[in-house]
């Protein structure tokens, strides 16, 4: 680590923070040889700093570092020791919780309080959860014939490549790092070029925790260059990706064209929330509001389509708008802020354009719909009503604080509307009838269904999508299967002539 690597940045609250700007390879921060990338503070549109990016040679250096470490060192480390190191890493994250949250807030625009109390806190829990699994991963003994012994081994894959998005920089990295390391893999992770700062800070903690050099490597760069080099590399055994469906398809192509590496893809969504006639409307409005507007609407599982029974539509919309009005927009370092800016100018323009598209298609803006303030990429939380399922705002992922609300007459119609989508990441239903709740959750084709709540996560609960929202599970025991492979061993006990 050199002083040239560390830069001091000024926050919107007048305080300062230190950031790493180079790549983390083989337990050292080293220069990248790709173009320098400006990272922008979305709250004031100013350049925070410039970070290094990885070219093809840098990617190869990171992969070779991980590959050599895996075969020479890491795969021989006792599982209990892997667990100890993960717990040590969690301890260091706990110590530096505020600093990590500051980097997420300035880089991403999310509320510092939410980044600290939700993103970083839940990430620490994720590392501790998988640390507990490290020495509990084992196979089975299988009875076959009397003269043979047969058993299975759950073995690590080798070097995992991971690509994480900009919306949850610390959390999405944790969802990849924790199970990969617990199961005995080494990893090369590409942070988003838009929000690299907190992820690079993580490299500093990895070294301090005592992980062998090469176990964790962190690079950044653009998806079409750095990401492509990583996903096509022949020594990568698996790619774990969270991001758009378009990019997920490209990673599948890279896998097919290189070494048929294992894939885990958590992609886009257009999740539906269904409000039945008997729902507690005040509670439903509260949860449904958070379900779309959490993280500024920049969540793949955001409940951006709401279908409300026609008999309670007007009352629900009234209550929903009341909840929306409670959301405070503003400086991410104001303790009262719930919604900060959108991530960048491109996303800002895209969201405002979708609002105009919705209006042209016949939707009515019941609340919001405009830019907030005159500096930063802030957009008012926006409520569109009179929406039908053929509208683009009902079918395409907006990835912003925009909700489209429509109506239905019967439960079967609501289920059909929810399923009329290319995506199947998540969904929710609000009702006081257990039979109806079970019917809806059984029949909506989505990887996660919430009942009378939304956007509730826990590190022990698997998460992943159906259809074009991807495949594979993150979190929980199910995630262990994504980072291991099963070997069968058969031993002849008696020689036969």
CA–CA distance from 423 to each of 49, 245, 478 (Å)? 36, 9, 21
Token duo for residue 391? 């509208």
How distant is the alpha carbon of residue 329 from its chain centre? 23
Cα 93 to Cα 206: distance, rounded to the nearest angstrom = 10
CA–CA distance from 470 to each of 13, 162, 207, 419 (Å)? 40, 15, 33, 16
Rg of the chain over all Cα atoms, to the nearest angstrom: 24
Contacts within 8 Å (CB) and 24+ apart, 310-314? 310/407, 310/408, 310/409, 311/277, 312/275, 312/277, 312/279, 312/281, 313/405, 313/407
Other Cβ atoms closer than 10 A to 283 = 14
Residues 6+ positions from 301 with CB-CB distance below 8 Å: 269, 271, 425, 426, 448, 455, 463
Cβ contact 408:310 at 8 Å: yes
Cβ contact 383:368 at 8 Å: yes
Cα 293 to Cα 406: distance, rounded to the nearest angstrom = 17
Q: Which is nearest to 486 in space by CA: 159, 238, 155?
A: 155
Cα 32 to Cα 53: distance, rounded to the nearest angstrom = 5
Cβ contact 103:20 at 8 Å: no
Q: Which is nearest to 40 in space by CA: 107, 111, 110, 112?
A: 107
Q: Which is nearest to 29 in space by CA: 205, 231, 182, 161?
A: 205
Residues 6+ positions from 357 with CB-CB distance below 8 Å: 392, 393
Cβ contact 455:477 at 8 Å: no
CA–CA distance from 345 to each of 46, 47, 174, 201, 353 (Å)? 12, 13, 27, 25, 12
Q: Quick one: residue 36, left, alpha or beta (phi over 0 = left, psi -120 to 50 = alpha)?
A: beta
Would you name the residues annotated as active-site residues? 266
Q: Quick one: residue 319, left, alpha or beta (phi over 0 = left, psi -120 to 50 = alpha)?
A: alpha
């Amino acid at each position: 680590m050199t002083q040239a690597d560390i830069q001091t940045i000024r926050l919107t609250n007048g305080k300062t923070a230190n950031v790493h700007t180079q790549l983390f390879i083989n337990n050292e921060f080293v220069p990248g040889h790709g173009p320098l990338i400006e990272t922008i503070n979305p709250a004031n549109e100013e350049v925070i700093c410039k970070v290094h990016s990885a070219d093809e040679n840098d990617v190869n250096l990171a992969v070779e570092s991980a590959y050599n470490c895996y075969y020479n060192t890491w795969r021989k480390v006792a599982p209990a020791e892997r667990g100890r190191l993960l717990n040590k890493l969690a301890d260091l994250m706990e110590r530096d919780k505020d600093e990590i949250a500051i980097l997420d807030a300035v880089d991403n625009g999310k509320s510092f309080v939410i980044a600290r109390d939700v993103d970083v806190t839940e990430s620490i829990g994720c590392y501790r959860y998988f640390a507990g699994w490290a020495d509990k991963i084992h196979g089975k003994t299988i009875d076959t014939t009397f003269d043979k012994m047969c058993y299975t081994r759950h073995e690590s894959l080798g070097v995992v490549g991971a690509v994480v998005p900009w919306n949850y920089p610390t959390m999405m990295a944790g969802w990849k790092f924790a199970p990969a390391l617990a199961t005995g893999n080494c990893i090369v992770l590409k942070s988003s070029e838009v929000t690299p700062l907190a992820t690079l800070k993580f490299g500093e903690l990895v070294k301090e925790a005592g992980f062998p050099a090469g176990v964790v490597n962190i690079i950044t760069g653009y998806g079409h260059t750095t990401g492509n080099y990583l996903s096509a590399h022949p020594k990568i055994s698996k790619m774990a990706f969270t991001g758009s469906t378009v990019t997920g398809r490209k990673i599948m192509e890279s896998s097919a064209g290189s070494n048929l590496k294992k894939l885990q893809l958590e992609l886009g969504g257009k999740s539906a929330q269904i409000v039945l006639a008997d729902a507690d409307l005040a509670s439903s409005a509260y949860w449904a509001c958070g379900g779309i507007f959490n993280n500024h609407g920049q969540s793949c599982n955001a409940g951006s389509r709401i279908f409300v029974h026609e008999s309670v539509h007007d009352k629900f919309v009234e209550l929903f708008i009341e909840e929306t009005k409670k959301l405070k927009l503003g400086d991410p370092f104001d303790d009262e802020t719930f919604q900060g800016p959108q991530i960048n100018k491109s996303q800002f323009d895209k969201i405002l354009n979708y609002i105009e598209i919705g209006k042209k298609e016949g939707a009515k803006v019941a609340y919001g719909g405009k830019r907030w303030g005159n500096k930063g990429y802030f957009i008012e939380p926006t409520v569109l009503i009179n929406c039908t399922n053929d509208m683009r705002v009902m079918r395409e992922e907006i990835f912003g604080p925009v909700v489209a609300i429509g109506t239905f007459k019967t439960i079967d119609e609501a289920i059909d509307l929810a399923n009329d989508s290319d995506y199947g990441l998540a969904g929710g239903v609000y009702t006081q009838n257990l039979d109806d709740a079970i019917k809806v959750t059984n029949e909506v084709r989505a990887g996660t269904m919430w009942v009378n709540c939304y956007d509730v996560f826990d590190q022990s609960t698997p998460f992943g999508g159906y259809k074009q929202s991807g495949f594979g599970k993150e979190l929980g025991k199910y995630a262990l299967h994504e980072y291991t492979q099963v070997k069968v061993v058969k031993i002849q006990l008696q020689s036969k002539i």
